[in-house]
Structure 1
Amino acid sequence: MIKNIIFDFGDVFINLDKEATYKELAKLGVTEISEEMIQQYYQYEMGLISTDNFVSFFHDKFNISKKDLIRSWNAILLDFPKHRLSFLKELATSNRYRLFLLSNTNDLHISWIQNDWGKELYDEFKNCFEKFYLSHEINLRKPNTNIFEFVLQKNDLQPSETFFIDDTKENTEAAKQLGIHVWNNCPKTEDVVNLLTKEAFN
């Protein structure tokens, strides 16, 4: 029986355009993504370097204005369909499941979301969850299995009683290795509001 649900954030609740940042950076002359750049991103996503250091790395390397870099970085973030919030609030109110958010994210993205949504909506969303885990705050990131082990251990969750939804296959595969039930959703054709129709819940 499923007792716990762990949700990803991007392309589960908020819509993303995952190519947008690459396209915007290309307009600024950054057409190749090096391993060094990827590692900076991973470090930033785990909160191991500051926003200033992250932005300065790209500014110094490519001589691009910090304002343009931040705008390009946040281009990935789109809208938050309100029917998903309604679904989440109903699920939280039902008290049938313990709800958790587990997101690979960073300070710039969360700051943009908080400003775009406003404090009231952001708090309304966040308060639906028992725990709200952001990678840059807990210094861990998916698909590393230690982030799932962290959530399980911190909250005394049994993998066999836990369901995880994420749009990235390598993330759901990592959780599955630990015995967690998973749904690797396709954002273009599937919606989190149909979660309870999944076999694990029936």
Structure 2
Amino acid sequence: MAPCRPNELDIGNLICTKFKNLIVDVGGVLLQPNLDLNYGTAISPHQFKRTLGSNTWFRYQTGELSSDEAFAQLSKQIGCSPWDLREFCRRAREALVPVPEIVRLIERLDLKLFCMTNVPAEEFESIQHTFQSVFSRFHKIFTSSATGMRKPNLNFFKHVLAESGIEPSETVFLDDDLANVTAAESMGITGILVPSLRDSNSAVLAQTVNQLVSTLRTREEQLSVAREYLLATKGVYRSLALTHEGLRIPVLFDHFIIAELLQDEKFLPIESAPERGTINFFPRTERSKRKGYSESQSAFTHINLPDDADTTSIGLSSLYKFSKVQMSVIDSVLDRIERELVNEDGQFQVYFDPQRPRVDSVCIINTLYLFHLAGRGGSVTRPSEEFILNLLQHRGYRRGTVYYNSPEVFLVQLARYGNLKTWIGNEALTTAFAVAAIEAHQQAVAL
């Protein structure tokens, strides 16, 4: 199954085990009306829309009033002739068109399909005849005129559930009216609100369909799709750092974390440590030779930052976990950190450059991690450890750090699998955190 992207539809080969039933509305969901035209009649769209919210129209929808009675009363309310109102309804009905995204969806879902709609009998008889191929796909059709009830009346939902013999927990409801969706969810049905088709573009509708598809998937299917998405995008540097000049520059940092979270070396941005052992925050052609990875040279041609202890520590620790670097290489880098990057307070600095004396607490956390991975915690790490502990105790991280403006980054790097609500500017990283968290939870439950 191809990864689901924000503005694309993913409706093929969907297997659903959690949900077994889908209830679909007609107007505004399955069929698209256009009530912004007067259709050559004396009635304005504004006048007609007034009738749709009236109690008279509601009584017409439930069969309490005949069409003659309804049009006679409604025409008096809006100041037109019954013939004009009936003609407007006829022409609006003839202008209905199927919503292709929804029609394709119900064609390919392996679910029991039900239709539930507020519609007068005369209107629905004509609509059903015109769109026979669409309505023939439904297992059962429930109309307000046939049942004497209309949405959002809870009795209507109870009737549909009872007559269909379906369970609310196994059912999804698709409607364009928030009141109807809310009523369905109060019954234990999973509701999805469709945006106004008149005001929405295809991308917005696609997102709604994808939301439905995502809802229907089991947890295992969602994990599979998430992993496929990550694999499909692993060759693109989606992590972007914003410079003081306003440039968005691709970076390596997050890709190491993704590989570590998913325990999959395919996500590593480099296959081995550079000969010098240290790694740069920004990808360079000579540093990112892993097949499939790409970068935009023009985005950072004037950036010339030295290698840093932050990316080096994250990168080497990730590479080590996949047996891509020897501990001897790590030790040589740690030796250099001890010689060059310890300031007068005993804290680890960021850059392998004496002309850039910078301190960042997240960088210190990651550098400490590498020291302890190598079993080299001790006097050289103690000042930095005390600094981090003091920040924790006094919540000195709550405004972010020099290079990371989110306080969550401090906590995440401290725990490596910490607060999963973090955002570091990379949608793939967020997905990786979610996959790792869900799988870890499943393993814990299994134990």
TM range (shorter): 0.7 to 0.9
Where 1:2 maps in the other structure, the secondary structure is coil
1:67-106 superposed matches below 5 A = 67-74=83-90, 75=92, 78-82=96-100, 84-91=102-109, 96-106=110-120
Cα offset, 1:142, TM superposition: 0.4
2:149 matches 1:135: no
- Cα-to-partner distance string for 1:1-42 (whole Å, 9 max, x where unaligned): 101111111111111235557xx77549959958xx811111
Inter-partner Cα distance in structure 2 for 1:31 and 1:151: 29
Q: Given that residues 118 and 151 in structure 2 are in contact (C-alpha distance below 8 angstroms), is that contact kept between their aligned partners in structure 1?
A: yes
Residues 45/31 of structure 1: CA separation in 2 closer, same or farther (3 Å cut):
closer
Structure 2 unaligned blocks of 5 or more: 1-17, 219-447
Q: Does 1:13 align with 2:30?
A: yes
Contact 2:59 2:65 in 1 (8 A): yes
The structural deviation recorded for 1:201 is 2.6
Query: What is the letter of the counterpart of residue 123 of structure 1?
Result: Q
- State the match for 1:39 in structure 2: 55
Task: Give, in whole Å, the separation in 1 of the partners of 2:49 and 2:32.
Answer: 25
Aligned to 1:176: 185
Q: Which has the higher contact order (CA 8 A, sep 6+)?
A: 1
Task: Kindly state the Cα deviation for residue 57 of structure 1 after the two structures are TM-superposed.
Answer: 1.6
Between stretches 131-140 and 187-196, larger displacement belongs to 187-196
Q: CA deviation at 1:71?
A: 2.5
Residue 198 in 1 paired to residue 199 in 2? no
Flag the 1:89–1:72 CA change in 2: closer, same or farther, 3 A: same
Normalising by structure 2, report the TM-score.
0.38
Decide which structure has the larger Cα Rg and report it. Answer: 2
Once residues 33 and 84 of structure 1 are traced to their aligned partners in structure 2, the CA distance between those partners, rounded to angstroms, is 28
8 Å CA contact 2:43, 2:88 repeated in 1: no
CA contact (8 A) 2:119 2:145 kept: yes
Percent identical among aligned pairs is 25
1:108 is displaced (CA, Å) by 4.0
- 2 CA distance for matches of 1:106 and 1:54? 10
Alpha-carbon distance in 2 for matches of 1:146, 1:181:
17
For the residues of structure 2 that align with 1:183 and 1:100, how far apart are their CA atoms? 15
The aligned counterpart of 1:51 is 67
Compare the two structures and name the one with the higher strand fraction: 1
Amino acid of the residue matched to residue 179 of structure 1? Answer: G
Q: Secondary structure at the match of 2:205?
A: coil
Number of residue equivalences: 190
Q: CA deviation at 1:72?
A: 2.6
Other structure's SS at 2:192 match: strand
Over the residues paired in the alignment, what is the CA RMSD in angstroms? 3.1
- For residues 3 and 50 of structure 1, do their structure 2 counterparts lie closer, same or farther at Cα, with a shift above 3 Å needed? same
TM-score by length of 1: 0.78
Superposition map of 1:91-130 within 5 A: 91=109, 96-114=110-128, 117=130, 122-130=131-139
Partner of 1:166: 175
